[in-house]
Each structure stands twice: as structure tokens, then as C-alpha cells.
């Protein structure tokens, strides 16, 4: 089986779009952020979509390359790390984002807005690094097949 480059790139584009959304809120103070329902909801949703797209990309690559079946979302990220698709620091950042996604989806009654606000900048950097790593993987491992 082969990795569907179109499937992967559509999700990378969505991640980049959500990173652009996050940039609009990067300079906002925590106090302003906390008191702006639209800002908090927008940032929460963007973080969720970014994490889910990364999970979906990881799952697709792992499945197509037959690298096993991750039991948890974080295991999908760690499998990409183990297969040298992403670096150790990037894997660590992605595991954090996956954890944030789980809180936003399942622990929505207990979301720490300070943590959400503090995640904006790192999430943007994570998206940029992830896109570079996946594009490199596609060029070197998939498009040459």
C-alpha cells in the first residue's frame, strides 16, 4: 500500500490554515483572551483541528506503511518519531497538542484557559515544523516510489 499524498497534503493545508487563525490571537493578552468568548472558542477549535489533522496524517502514514496499529493517539505520534519521520522535540510538542485536544474534546468543563492561551505560539511553531517534516518524508520516501 502507498501513502495517498493528496490525503496528507489536504490535512497539512488545513493545519496551516488553522495556524494562520491562531496568529490573529498570538499577541492578545491573557486577560483579553479570557474575557473574549469568541477568541477562546476560536483558539480552542483551531488547536483541536490542528491536533486531529496531525493524528489523521500519522494514522494514514502508519497504516499505509504497515508500521503497526497505535492504541492511542499519542502512540501514533510516537510511531512517526520511532520511524524517524519526525524529530524527538517535534514528537514531544505533538504529544502535548494531542493531550490538549483530548482535554478540549473530553474535559471541556475543566479547560484551563491559561494553558490554552499559552499554547498558541507553540502550536504555530509545531504546525510549521510538522508540515516541513511531513513534506520532507513525502519527497524522500513516498514520491520516489
Burial class from Cβ neighbours inside 10 Å (0-12, 13-18, 19+) for residue 59 reads: middle
CATH classification at residue 134: 1.20.120.580
Domain count of the chain?
A: 1
> Which tens digits make up the pLDDT trace of 57-83?
999 999 999 999 988 999 999 999 999
For residue 8, CA distances in Å to 1, 22, 74, 112, 130 come to 15, 21, 18, 31, 12
Provide CB contacts within 8 A for 65, sequence distance 6+. Answer: 1, 3, 83
Q: Mean pLDDT of all residues in the chain?
A: 95
Q: Which domain holds residue 37?
A: 5-142
Reported as a single tens digit per residue, the pLDDT across 86-103 is 999 999 999 999 999 999
- As a whole number, mean pLDDT of residues 120-131 equals 98
Q: Which grid cell is 11?
A: 490535512
Amino acid at each position: 500500500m502507498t501513502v495517498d499524498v493528496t490525503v496528507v497534503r489536504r490535512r497539512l493545508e488545513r493545519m496551516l490554515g488553522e495556524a494562520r487563525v491562531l496568529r490573529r490571537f498570538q499577541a492578545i493578552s491573557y486577560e483579553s483572551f479570557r474575557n473574549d468568548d469568541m477568541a477562546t472558542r476560536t483558539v480552542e477549535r483551531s488547536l483541536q483541528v490542528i491536533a486531529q489533522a496531525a493524528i489523521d496524517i500519522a494514522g494514514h502514514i502508519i497504516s499505509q506503511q504497515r508500521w503497526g496499529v497505535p492504541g492511542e493517539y499519542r502512540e501514533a505520534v510516537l510511531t512517526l518519531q520511532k520511524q524517524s519521520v519526525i524529530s524527538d522535540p517535534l514528537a514531544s510538542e505533538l504529544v502535548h497538542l494531542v493531550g490538549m485536544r483530548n482535554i478540549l474534546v473530553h474535559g471541556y468543563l475543566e479547560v484551563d484557559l491559561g494553558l490554552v492561551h499559552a499554547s498558541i505560539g507553540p502550536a504555530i511553531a509545531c504546525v510549521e515544523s510538522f508540515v516541513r517534516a511531513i513534506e520532507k518524508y513525502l519527497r524522500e520516501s513516498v514520491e520516489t516510489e
